Amino acid sequence: MTNPDFRIFPSASATTDAVAAHLAARLAAQPAIRLGLATGNTFVPVYAALVEHYRAGGLSFAQACSFNLDEYVGLPPGHVASFRAYMQSHLFDHVDLPEGHGHLPAVEGDIELACRNYEAAIAAAGGIDLQLLGIGRNGHIGFNEPGSAFDSRTRQVDLTPSTQEANKADFPAGETVPPTAVTMGIGTILEAREIVLVAIGATKAEALQTAFRGKQTPACPASALQMHAKVLVFCDEAAASLVRAD
């Protein structure tokens, strides 16, 4: 296959439905699949459609497990804007994924140790079969902001002002976005056997072009994906506009 394998759809909903159908097919083919999951606006309709597939019958998460890309540091457990709360409300609470099989980075206590343990847990599970990724307007993947090393591992990182601004709407009025988070590293992400990156809307067009048509550089973290053998990019026409113009 060509890298990346671009799958361009006429609308946002056609794109996210196709991602959900791809995930459902992969889960059906490999019930004990180890999923790498992402959060953010892009994945709200993806998980909603995946839950629909589950409710339609014939799909089970009972043998699956998942590892999320990232989590904010410093939010009280259960905070509405935490990625744990997002995963519970958009996916985990609605499917038969066993309790304890949906992992997110630990963000309390000794964070360095927790990061090493997260890497060890991924390795002990056998590595990630399919990693979902969104893309930041600045080219970030997970919370690997521009400048992140391509061999970086799970660690605590500072969020850029643009990322904090982009995620502000997820927080109750008057609250600020935490300045730091724990994220899988780019090196961690590159070890997944398959990567599915999803980009919706014109605001992602430039990041997509820089990531896949520009040169590989830590200034655009997603450009690291050029060195991965199996990357599928699901996007709508608006996000694909600059890639297509090439």
Residues annotated as catalytic are 70, 138, 140, 145
Angle between helices 83-90 and 43-56 (to 10 degrees): 30
Nearer to ligand F6R, 32 or 201 (CB): 201
Site for ligand F6R in 141-160 (CB under 6 A): 141-143
- The residue with its CB nearest to ligand F6R is 134
Minimum CB distance to ligand F6R, residue 237 (Å): 17
CB-nearer residue toward ligand F6R: 40 or 178: 40
What does the block give as tokens for 36?
């790498």
Cα 142 from Cα 147, distance rounded (Å): 13
- The least CB distance from residue 155 to ligand F6R, in Å, is 14
CA distance 44 to 186: 23
Binding mask 72-91 for ligand F6R (x = CB under 6 A): --------------------
DSSP codes of every residue in 206-224: HHHHHHHHS---TTSGGGG
Give the DSSP H/E element, type plus range, for residue 117.
helix 111-124
| Strand 180-183 with 65-68, pairing | unpaired
CA distance 171 to 173: 6
Q: Quick one: which segment of 19-27, 35-43, 118-126, 207-215 binds ligand F6R (CB under 6 A)?
A: 35-43
Could you tell me whether strands 180-183 and 155-158 are parallel, antiparallel, or unpaired per DSSP bridges? antiparallel
* C-beta closer to ligand F6R: residue 26 or 137: 137
38 binds ligand F6R (CB under 6 A): yes
CB 90 within 8 A of CB 131: no
What is d(CA 46, CA 19) in angstroms, rounded to the nearest whole number? 6
105-134 mask for ligand F6R (x: CB under 6 A)? Answer: -----------------------------x
Specify the residue, 143 or 234, whose C-beta has the smaller distance to ligand F6R. Answer: 143
Least separation, in Å, of the C-beta of 223 and ligand F6R? 14
Is 103 among the residues that bind ligand F6R (CB under 6 A)?
A: no
Q: CA-CA distance, 55 to 182, in Å (whole number)?
A: 32
Should residue 66 be labelled a site residue for ligand F6R when binding is judged by CB under 6 A? no
The residue type found at 146 is P
The binder of ligand F6R chosen from 19, 22, 27, 39 (CB under 6 A): 39
- List all residues 6 or more positions away from 174 whose beta carbon is below 8 Å from its beta carbon: none
Nearer to ligand F6R, 30 or 162 (CB): 162
Residues in contact with ligand F6R by the rule CB under 6 A: 38-42, 69-70, 134-136, 140-143
